[in-house]
């Protein structure tokens, strides 16, 4: 058992917490741990690359730069929408999260980044874009991915470990 380490195409089960600017923003505490296939981009590259060689029970602190996490802030992801086009029921407060649809009708998440008399500035960046990410991770399980999981590119639940 003890020679198992995190490697490509293995299913990693991991407890984690994520702090950004000193605040806890995400954690598996109180939920199931995260299952993912290592090495195929299921999780952000800056975290994935630091997990190789860890064993079950190992814990590590990992600091991920914005570039290796959710990317840098993109100026073009800020969009001004004329105030008149805004539905009246949405609170026009900075930080309010809304869902809008693109031309193809696909839902996109945005946050209100600014409010003026003429326009509402929307931010379509990922909420963690431009941020340094501080992860605390503990490996709680490791197994080889099944052929089916590799074909589908994600973990399947409900079979025997």
C-alpha–C-alpha distance, residues 72 and 103, integer Å: 25
Angle at 17 between CA 53 and CA 96, to 5 degrees: 135
Q: Specify the pLDDT at position 131.
A: 96
Give all domains of the chain, ordered by start, each with its CATH number: 10-70+129-152 (3.10.50.40), 75-123 (2.40.10.330)
Q: pLDDT tens digits, residue range 87-132?
A: 778 889 999 999 988 889 888 899 999 999 999 999 999 999 999 9
Q: CB–CB of 38/7 below 8 Å? A: yes
pTM: 0.81
Q: CB–CB of 33/14 below 8 Å? A: yes
Q: Specify the pLDDT at position 139.
A: 98
Q: pLDDT tens digits, residue range 144-157?
A: 999 999 999 999 87
Nearest-CA neighbor of 6 among 55, 65, 78? 55
């Amino acid at each position: 058992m003890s020679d198992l380490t995190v490697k490509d195409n293995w299913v990693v089960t991991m407890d984690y917490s994520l702090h950004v600017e000193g605040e806890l923003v995400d954690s598996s505490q109180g939920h199931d741990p995260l299952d993912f296939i290592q090495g195929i981009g299921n999780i952000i590259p800056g975290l994935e690359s630091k997990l190789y060689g860890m064993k079950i029970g190992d814990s590590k602190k990992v600091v991920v730069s914005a570039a290796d996490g959710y990317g840098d802030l993109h100026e073009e992801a800020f969009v001004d929408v004329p105030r008149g086009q805004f539905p009246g029921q949405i609170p026009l407060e900075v930080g309010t999260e809304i869902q809008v649809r693109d031309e193809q009708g696909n839902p996109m998440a945005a946050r209100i980044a600014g409010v003026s008399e003429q326009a509402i500035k929307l931010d379509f960046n990922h909420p963690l874009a431009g941020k340094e990410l501080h992860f605390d991770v503990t490996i709680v399980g490791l197994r080889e991915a099944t052929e089916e999981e590799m074909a589908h590119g994600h973990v399947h639940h409900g079979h025997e470990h």
